Amino acid sequence: MSTLDPTDWSGLRALGHRMMDDMVDHLAGIAAQPVWRPLPDEIRAGFSAPLPAEGTAPENVYAAFQANIQPYVTGNTHPRFMGWVHGGGNPVSMLAELLAGAMNANCGGRNHVGIVVERQVIAWAAEMLGMPAQTSGVLLTGSSMANFIAVLCARFKALGTDARANGLQGAKLTAYASAGVHRCVPSALDMAGLGMQALRKIPVDADFRMDLEALRATIAADQAAGCTPFLIVGTAGSVDVGAFDDMAALAEIAKTHNAWFHADAAFGALTALSPTRKHFLTGIEHADSVAFDFHKWAQVTYDAGCVLIRDPELHNATFAQATSYLAAAPRGLAGGQPWPCDLGPDLSRGFRALKVWMTLSAYGSEQLGGVVDTTCDLAQHLAARITASNRLELLAPVKLNIVCFAIAGFTDAQTADLVADLQESGLFAPSTTTIGDRMAIRAAIVNHRTQRADVGALVDEILRRTAALTCINDTAPPLATR
Ligand SMILES: *Cc1c(COP(=O)(O)O)cnc(C)c1O
């Protein structure tokens, strides 16, 4: 017997129902679980097994998942996970992953509904950001890939098809982004063959926004040195502190130099759905391209990145290749161009669009915008608690959902230890970054499950743990009055 399907489906059906019940219980009870548990050595060692020649009953494989996998995942579904910028996921997206698995659609191309659903999602994304209806785009693993695709499109605009065929041939292209740019942007320049040094990191002002005078001066110096400024990257929601570059000004400067204007709005793009904060993005509607993630603030399960490219022909021309085995046809399964495989480097791709479409359909833009607002309000609450304590200091203004702070008198090593202790205790998962020359505790409130009490408890726990270690008394009022 060669099929992988069971002869009697009832056992699989029962197992599937059990998994569903368990996973619903898991999500419903997540707050009572530890945020994170370190993976014990003996379980880690169990994942160095040889390739199994013989199969194991799916019930037993599931039991191994329950014992050895489920307890030791990242923890970002948990309301007290505040590290990095991780989305919390959502139950509708979880169910969509099951449906997508059953469909097993290959969304690299061909004439089927998966491609149409993806175009719907891209159109919604363009609408959200005020970009034209014909804006092109694809779903990707994340913003790292989305930024890479945008850089390749910008390179195509600067050098045309010749560079696709023959490479850079000595072209001296230069790109510009703020000093707070995410590491994937220099990476994208590297992968595009331009080299990381082609990226000029422009200093930021006191609000962590790109200094426009410094940008203009750097562009002028590069031009004088014979370089071609081809790309300006605006960061909308910087990963360290949640700062927004002046998108409108960057669009204007890019236009003056006939350069491509790209926005890295990995999580900041979702600010567009917040009535109180959408003005942070003003000008992004002029972008030639935008990179952002549905898996961060839009709470779609991992992974779901997105790139938008204003000019659909240019997007296609950057990646399309004619091959006999992928030839277009006027009808049948080979119809329905353009195909996503001509809009990026992937050929085979899963049905990511389904979970995005189901999430946006189930919750709507208003509820998702509400999550953005609520998480930003929680960050303000956290900032207020920090300001009220004379043992804690804010290290950057809190404009969005990210709070960077330090403990008075703590060395970087002590801060790193405290954060690791908090993570290993299973109580909280903030992360760290460096602001100026100082290590910061960084809390990014992204998860729709996080509540005011979670944020307050983080401050209380830090104050409790540091009381013995610092000689500064905290004069903040007792818990009940906060
Ligand atoms: C998260 C992030 C990225 C990278 O996105 P991935 O989805 O992790 O690949 C890029 N830029 C910014 C500003 C980010 O916050």
pLDDT tens digits, one per residue of 228-239 = 999 999 999 999
Residue 37 lies inside a defined structural domain of this protein: yes
Do 343 and 315 meet the contact criterion of CB atoms below 8 Å apart? yes
Which residues, in sequence order, are CB contacts of 63 under 8 Å at separation 6+? Answer: none
Give residue-wise pLDDT tens across range 454-466.
999 999 999 999 9
pLDDT of 478 reads 45
Look up the CATH number of the domain holding residue 275: 3.40.640.10
pLDDT tens per residue across span 258-274: 999 999 999 999 999 99
> Is 339 in the same domain as 206?
yes
What is the residue with the minimal CA distance to atom 15 of ligand 1? 239
CA of 262 to the centre of ligand 1 (A): 14
Is 179 within 8 Å of 142 (Cβ atoms)?
no
Is 158 in the same domain as 241? yes
User: Residue 328 — very low, low, confident or very high, per pLDDT cuts 50/70/90?
Assistant: confident
DSSP 75-102: -TTSTTB-STT-----HHHHHHHHHHHH
Task: Please give the tally of structural domains in the chain.
Answer: 3
Tokens linked to 385: 């608690």
Q: Pick the last residue of a domain from 79, 95, 127.
A: 79
| Whether pLDDT at 482 is above 50 | no
Q: Are 382 and 428 in contact (CB under 8 A)?
A: no
Q: Model confidence over 279-304: pLDDT tens digits? A: 999 999 999 999 999 999 999 999 99
What pLDDT does residue 322 have?
A: 87
Does the residue 89 lie in any domain? no
Does the pLDDT value for residue 336 go beyond 70? yes
Please report, in angstroms and rounded to a whole number, the separation of the first and last CA atoms in the chain.
66
**What is residue 1's predicted lDDT score, i.e. its pLDDT?**
66
The answer on 263 and 322 residing in a single domain is: yes
Q: Which atom of ligand 1 is least distant from the CA of 268?
A: 13
Residues 436 and 346 in one domain: no
Per-residue model confidence (pLDDT) at position 480: 43
SS3 assignment, position 405: strand
d(CA 416, CA 422): 10
CA of 268 to the centre of ligand 1 (A): 10
For residue 265, give the ligand 1 atom closest to its CA: 13
**Are 384 and 423 in a shared domain?**
yes
Decide if 408 is inside a domain.
Answer: yes
pLDDT at 190 > cutoff 50: yes
- Of 350, 376, 405, the residue that ends a domain is 350
Q: What percent of the chain has pLDDT over 70?
A: 97
What residues line ligand 1, using a CB cutoff of 6 Å? 85, 142-144, 182, 184, 235, 237, 239, 264, 266-267, 293, 305
Residues in the chain: 482
Domain assignment present for residue 321? The answer is yes
Cβ neighbours around 204 below 10 Å, total: 21
**What pLDDT is stored for residue 106 in this prediction?**
97
pLDDT of 327: 86
Average pLDDT of the chain to the nearest whole number: 95
What predicted TM-score, i.e. pTM, was given to this entire model? 0.95
**How close is the Cα of 344 to the center of ligand 1, in Å?**
18
What is the pLDDT averaged over residues 109-124?
A: 97
CATH code for position 458: 3.90.1150.10
pLDDT of residue 383: 98
Expressed in angstroms and rounded, the spacing between residue 186 Cα and the centre of ligand 1 is 13
416: helix, strand or coil: helix
Q: How far is the CA of 143 from the centre of ligand 1 (A)?
A: 5
Say if residue 143 is in the same domain as residue 18: no
Atom of ligand 1 nearest to the CA of 145: 9
Q: 180 CA distance to ligand 1 centroid (A)? A: 12
The answer as to whether 100 is a domain residue is no
On whether both 286 and 158 belong to a single domain, the answer is yes
Q: Which atom of ligand 1 is nearest to the CA of 303?
A: 7
| Residue 381 included in any domain | yes
Residue-wise pLDDT tens digits, 18-76: 999 999 999 999 999 999 999 999 999 999 999 999 999 999 999 999 999 999 999 99
Q: Say if 476 falls within a structural domain.
A: no
CA of 296 to the centre of ligand 1 (A): 9
Question: How close is the Cα of 209 to the center of ligand 1, in Å?
Answer: 18
Cα–Cα distances (Å) from 34 to 30, 31, 106, 428, 441, in that order, read 8, 8, 37, 8, 20
The reported pLDDT for the residue numbered 479 is 45
Residue 93 predicted with pLDDT over 80: yes
DSSP 244: B
Look at ligand 1, atom 12, and give the residue with the nearest C-alpha. Answer: 266
Residues 6+ apart with CB under 8 A from 408: 390, 391, 392, 393, 470, 472
Smallest CA separation from ligand 1 atom 7, residue = 142
| pLDDT greater at residue 123 or residue 475 | 123
Dihedral of CA 72/420/183/211: which sign?
positive
Given a cut of 60, whether residue 118 has pLDDT beyond it is yes
Give me the residues paired with residue 263 across strands: 234, 290
Closest ligand 1 atom to residue 182 Cα is: 11
- Residue 471: is its pLDDT beyond 60? no
Name the residue with higher pLDDT: 475 or 435: 435
Q: Which atom of ligand 1 is nearest to the CA of 181?
A: 13
Q: Which domain-ending residue is among 62, 79, 96?
A: 79
Closest ligand 1 atom, residue 293 Cα: 7
In this structure, the answer to whether residues 335 and 369 fall within a common structural domain is no
Neighbours of 424 (CB within 10 A): 13
In angstroms, what is the span from residue 104 Cα to ligand 1's centroid?
A: 27
308 has a pLDDT exceeding 80: yes
The type of residue at 163 is: A
Same domain membership, residue 233 and residue 130: yes
Interval 137-179: pLDDT, tens: 999 999 999 999 999 999 999 999 999 999 999 999 999 999 9
- Domain shared by 233 and 369, yes or no: no
Q: In testing the pocket of ligand 1, which one of 184, 281, 295 has its CB within 8 Å of the most ligand atoms?
A: 184
Same domain membership, residue 327 and residue 286: yes
Pick the residue whose CA is nearest to atom 5 on ligand 1: 143
Lowest mean pLDDT segment, chosen from 17-26, 318-327, 411-420:
318-327
The reported pLDDT for the residue numbered 475 is: 52
Q: Say yes or no: 140 and 220 in one domain.
A: yes
Range of the domain at 301: 107-350
Per residue in 205-216, pLDDT tens? 999 999 999 999
Name the amino acid, one letter, at 195: G
Closest ligand 1 atom number to CA of residue 142:
7
Q: What is the pLDDT of residue 212?
A: 98
- Residue 123 domain-assigned? yes
